[in-house]
Amino acid sequence: MTRGARRLDKILIANRGEIAVRISRTCRELGRTIVAVFSDPDRYALHVRHADQAYALGGSSPAETYLDQNKILDIARRSGADAVHPGYGFLSENPVFAAACRERGLAFIGPSAESIEMMGEKTGARERMSRAGVPVVPGTPPLGTAEEALAEAGRIGYPVLIKAAAGGGGKGMRRVDRPEELGPAFSACGREALSAFGDSRVYIEKYLDEPHHIEFQILADGKGRTVHLFERECSIQRRHQKIVEETPSPLMTDDLRERMGEAAVKAAEACGYVNAGTIEFLVDADRRFYFLEMNTRLQVEHPVTELVTGVDLVERQIRIAEGEPLSDLRPSRRGAAMECRIYAEDPWNHFLPSPGLIRRLSPPGGPGVRDDTGVFAGFTVPMEYDPLLAKLVVWGESRGQVLTRMDRALWEYRLLGIRTNIPYLRKVVRHPEFVRGVYDTHFLVKHQDDLLLPGRSDEDRVALAAAAVLALRGEERSAAGVQTEKSAFSAWKTAGRPGASDS
């Protein structure tokens, strides 16, 4: 370690599921003690089994478990943790939590509370980027009345988007094509924004037709060096939620990559950013790009960058938090990579969540295949949390090899007992336009008939039949008095259970 650096020996992971497992793996490789936290439904979860110590949060809902700052900070104190890694979601972009960690002498493995707050407020972030010379989509500050919004929309030109000033993920967002639609949409967005974020403020942004959603991964140390690790194409989205990501982007040219990379670095430097983050852009049909937002955390889709650069982003996060510089990092890229998000949901029933017992699980393998998962056979997927089960990521020398490999890996993925979107994802990656790299953020809507009709695939029907047979056999064994399932902890400590140690 460099002089003045602080080694973080014990790291509390304030998260669950696949991202908590993924962070644990790097911590173990670095020789750091891992502290897990878990809700009641997650008592036997995989991220708990990967930890050296595990502490019960008590409760089931996100608000009383992974979003409860006081519980997590108290566990950090009791466990003697040196640092907290928030993963993504939950408290990862909460400036109050980041500041509370710092006040208690805990290293927050992420950016400063000031940077999180600065970039979390959308209109303020737009203004800062504009002053720094980063292109932004034409828009407005927060608007107080529908009358103001009507005037601004006329100035910008229809169609426009009404967006929550404190929001994200598509909540508090409406497209408006005509003046008569604006008043009701303005009111509805304000109500939804208040419900989702506790802030009813909304603003207007020019709607871009057929845009690409492209983001750049950045790393910044505390010594004044900021670098980007190239782009990720994130345009395959359902209701503003990414489900397939790849790098390099099929849209990208060398010149566009250079200009967008420079803008991404400039954006991070404009807010004094330190640690890992992502600068998100919209790119129009003429390859003009505009700043969209900054995600001040590790992204769900970070593995595609890791596969093409060979950089462990979680390791770099930890080393930056310890005070290490990025002086040795010279980002380069080899090949291509793609990620598919595996969800417990039923695409042929309005994508409704599908919680329940995973009876059998056989993930794919072979060259260039990585499965980041938070589940196992015998685990009951809870209904309280996001239905993301795993991220299937593949690497190849070319995009053609990646497409072939992803199709094979999705075919090979066997998960029985609950519904998943695996058959739907296979249809996406085999679609002729996707194969050609001709797609934008409206791809799934444009091709929903191709992707969803005429119903469940033959392979899916076979999987359902197999699951039914396995369930029947399990019932027969149980009736015969045979134990069919075990729930046993390893030899590590589990705090919060009767008789368990808190130390």
- Domain holding 58: CATH number? 3.40.50.20
Would you tell me how many other CB atoms lie within 10 Å of the CB of residue 473?
12
Number of independent structural domains in the chain: 3
pLDDT tens per residue across span 149-173: 999 999 999 999 999 887 766 778 9
Complete DSSP assignment for 217-261:
EEEE-TTS-EEEEEEEEEEEEETTEEEEEEES-TT--HHHHHHHH
Task: Please check whether residue 85 lies inside any domain of the structure.
Answer: yes
75 and 202 in a single domain? The answer is no
Nearest to 58 by CA among 82, 493, 104, 70: 70
171 and 266 in a single domain? The answer is no
pLDDT of residue 327: 93
Residue where a domain terminates, one of 438, 460, 491? 438
CATH of the domain at 178: 3.30.1490.20
Choosing from 232, 297, 341, 405, the catalytic residue is 297
Q: How far apart are CA 150 and CA 163, in angstroms?
A: 14
Task: Please check whether residue 465 lies inside any domain of the structure.
Answer: no
357 and 412 in a single domain? The answer is yes
Residue where a domain terminates, one of 391, 409, 438? 438
201 and 149 in a single domain? The answer is yes
- Residue the block writes with tokens 């696949």: 18
3-state secondary structure 67-98: CCHHHHHHHHHHHCCCEEECCCCCCCCCHHHH
pLDDT of residue 495: 46
418 and 314 in a single domain? The answer is yes
197 and 220 in a single domain? The answer is no
Active-site annotation holds for 178: no
pLDDT tens per residue across span 455-466: 554 445 455 545
202 and 217 in a single domain? The answer is no
Task: Please check whether residue 35 lies inside any domain of the structure.
Answer: yes
Residue where a domain terminates, one of 188, 206, 224? 206
Contacts 24+ apart (CB under 8 A), 353-356: 353/383, 353/387, 354/381, 354/387, 354/418, 354/419, 354/420, 355/380, 355/381, 355/382, 355/383, 355/387, 355/418, 356/380, 356/381, 356/417, 356/418
Q: Which residues of the chain are under the pLDDT cut of 70?
A: 1-4, 168-169, 454-503
319 and 290 in a single domain? The answer is yes
pLDDT of residue 121: 80
235 and 273 in a single domain? The answer is yes
183 and 256 in a single domain? The answer is no
Q: With contact defined as beta carbons under 8 Å apart, do 218 and 231 qualify?
A: no
Q: How far is CA 169 from the centre of its chain?
A: 11
Structural domain including 389 reads 212-438
Task: Please check whether residue 123 lies inside any domain of the structure.
Answer: no
167 and 228 in a single domain? The answer is no
